[in-house]
Structure 1
Amino acid sequence: MRTILSAAALGLATVVAPATQASDAAQLVTILTSDEPQTQLMSMVLTMQSMQAGAGAYVLLCGPAGDLALKDAPEAATAPQPPKGMSPQALMQKIMAQGATVEVCAIYLPGKGVGEDALLDGIGVAKPPAVAARLLADDTRIMSF
């Protein structure tokens, strides 16, 4: 009887463990650099799913991905993607509305030759020491695209 109970407990622990591990990550940092719309959208989908599972979310847009943050974003950032007709920028704005913080890399705006007024409302400019602290925090998981 003891062996059966132990096996049952082990089976239950195996089923419960993945969910527990997912909730252990209180903070998710998504670093997006890709200019590819499907990759951009998938990074936002996974960030949204992580938020729905209870994680806090911070998105850092660098290089070509910084264009998602622009008021006058390129068509690739705003064009609907299959299968649900959502654009990378629209989903990014949706996760912001649900509490995610989105920032562009500190060198993005100077490299682009524009000021902070070119960014969508609610998007800031990352401060490297603060980003480093996020990345090194014990409760952080990092996704990079």
Structure 2
Amino acid sequence: MAGLAFAVIAGLPLIAATSITAANAADNGVPSRALIILTSPSLQTQGMAMVLGNAMQAGGTPVNVLLCDKAGDLALANMQSPPLKPKNATPEQLMAKLIDGGASVSVCALYLPNSDHAKTDLRTGIDVATPPEMAALMTQAGSRVFSF
């Protein structure tokens, strides 16, 4: 019995160290999930948000993108922005790369009802977000929210 007690007590530092390591990872800027909220109508801001999303995804961070207000237009199948230098890629192309890599992209729940567009106008792979879903992502432990 004493051996069992010693084994349990000896294992406590390992359990505590594992918990601290996980907490430190989140505290040290290593999110377990990134949520990018994009509202800017600026082409360069939209492009940079997608570039950063792709960089986070390449680093192993799962990415969700929420497109609101004028940025919601990126979700429209007929939207085509001019390409941005230096890669000559549009925000839509960069967003498609995110989706191909496993990112979830949605328009705000308010976007379609306050526009002349319907869900059928959205690009393939883009959904309509719900407030409870987005609130859960925003408050999930280890989630980082980035707003552009």
**TM-score, normalisation: structure 2:** 0.80
Amino acid at match of 2:84: Q
2:114 to 64, 87, 111: 111
Unpaired segments of 5 or more residues in structure 2? 1-23
1:67 aligns with 2:73: yes
> In structure 1, what is the equivalent of residue 45 of structure 2?
39
Kindly report the root-mean-square deviation, in angstroms, between the aligned alpha carbons of the 2 structures: 1.6
Amino acid at match of 2:130: K
Unpaired segments of 5 or more residues in structure 1? 1-16
1:1-145 alignment runs, 5 A limit: 21-22=28-29, 24-73=30-79, 75=80, 78-145=81-148
Runs (4+) off by over 6 Å: none
Equivalenced residues, count? 124
Cα distance in 2 between the residues matched to 1:46 and 1:114: 28
Amino acid at match of 1:111: N
Q: What CA deviation, in whole Å up to 9, does each residue of 1:23-66 have, x standing for no partner?
A: x3110000000010000000001111111111000000000000
Q: What CA deviation, in whole Å up to 9, does each residue of 1:94-141 have, x standing for no partner?
A: 110000000000010111122100000010000100100000001101
Amino acid at match of 2:55: Q
**TM-score, normalisation: structure 1:** 0.81
* Secondary structure class of the residue paired with 2:83: coil
Rg larger in 1 or in 2? 2
